[in-house]
Amino acid sequence: MRRLETRWGILMALPAILGFLIFTIGPMAASAFFSFTDWTIGASPSFIGLDNYTAMVGDELFWKSLTATTYYTLGSVPLVLIVSFAVAMLLNQKVRGLSAWRTIFYLPTLVPAIANVVLWIWIFNPDFGLLNSLLRQGGLPDSQWIYGESTAVPSLIIMSTWGFGNTMVIFLAGLQGVPRHLYEAVSIDGGGAWRRFWHVTLPMMTPTIFYNLVVGVVGTFQVFNQAYVMTEGGPNHATLFYVYYLFRKAFTESEMGYASALAWTLFMIIMVVTFLMFRNARRWVYYEMAGAR
């Protein structure tokens, strides 16, 4: 039985193991190697050591893309977290027709990425788009939205907030898991809604907030479609997001070596940021287990 189990065990895990080797480990090693080469498709790669990485330091567009991406992340993640937390709090009251409300708020996340992008190009249209029409009706000045250098990234941040449904559903699940007796304890001590929120809900929700924060940061750092379809990185490189810049280097300018170095740099940035978030988490994330120490 024991040997049979081992044989079956390995056999059944084999597709996953092979897939990991072929589609993760192999390409990872290859791109690490390519990142030390000067390589255009068709030619053979020539080893140039750290040149790609040092070239990045002097690459104005690299810095531009890093800034644009960071800007987008810093704007989008907190906004999505706050909006989805607030709506989840509302839905966690005894709301009638909960599933209907939840569906409404979840709906935007179902829109396929490209359809979403096409729809928002129209919404942002400076002449006849939804947003400028509303502004005009309210007697406010127009905006250039994604066509203005300073408004492009904020526009995409607004657009990203529309898809807060996934985060909201996760918050809602977290809120429903907060033990009821804790609220009762606060009430017995004479605490009101604000104290219940501040001393029970918020601390108990920190693990969920942390999860959504990490997923949000890692996700927004890899934003691509909006830059590719909506803005082509413009105007004046304002939305030259990192992965879009990488894509352009690799598949438009065919600088595969440099693009690989960009990819590994992104990987390292994400690792460092994630590490810092986890280290910082000890200060504010409450885990029931850790609390017992």
Q: Scanning residues 170 to 199, which ones bind other proteins (CB under 8 A)? A: 170, 173-176, 178, 180, 183-184, 187, 193, 196
Looking only at residues 62 through 101 of this chain, which bind other proteins when binding is defined by CB under 8 A? 86-87, 90-101
CB 210 → other proteins: shortest distance, Å?
A: 8
Q: Where are the beta strands (DSSP E) in the chain?
A: 37-38, 46-47
Contact at 8 Å (CB) between 79 and 168?
no
Report yes or no: 243 and 266 within 8 Å, Cβ to Cβ: yes
Binding of residue 292 to other proteins (CB under 8 A): no
Closest CA to 123 of 131, 115, 133, 134: 131
Nearer to other proteins, 63 or 267 (CB): 267
How many residues touch other proteins (CB under 8 A)?
Answer: 109
Paired residues of 178 in beta bridges: none
Is the separation of the CB atoms in 186 and 200 below 8 Å? yes
Q: How far is the CB of 60 from other proteins (least distance, A)?
A: 20
Q: Which stretch binds other proteins (CB under 8 A): 57-65, 70-78, 139-147, 209-217?
A: 209-217
Report if residue 276 touches other proteins, rule: CB under 8 A: no
Residue 166 binding other proteins, by CB under 8 A: yes
**CB 58 → other proteins: shortest distance, Å?**
21
Q: For other proteins, which residue of 120, 152, 156, 213 counts as binding (CB under 8 A)?
A: 120
Name 46's bridge partners.
38
53 in contact with other proteins (CB under 8 A): no
- Which residue type is seen at 62? F
250 binds other proteins (CB under 8 A): yes
Q: Does 108 bind other proteins (CB under 8 A)?
A: yes
Number of Cβ within a 10 Å radius of residue 179: 11
With CA atoms as reference, report the closest residue to 244 among 270, 273, 230, 83: 230
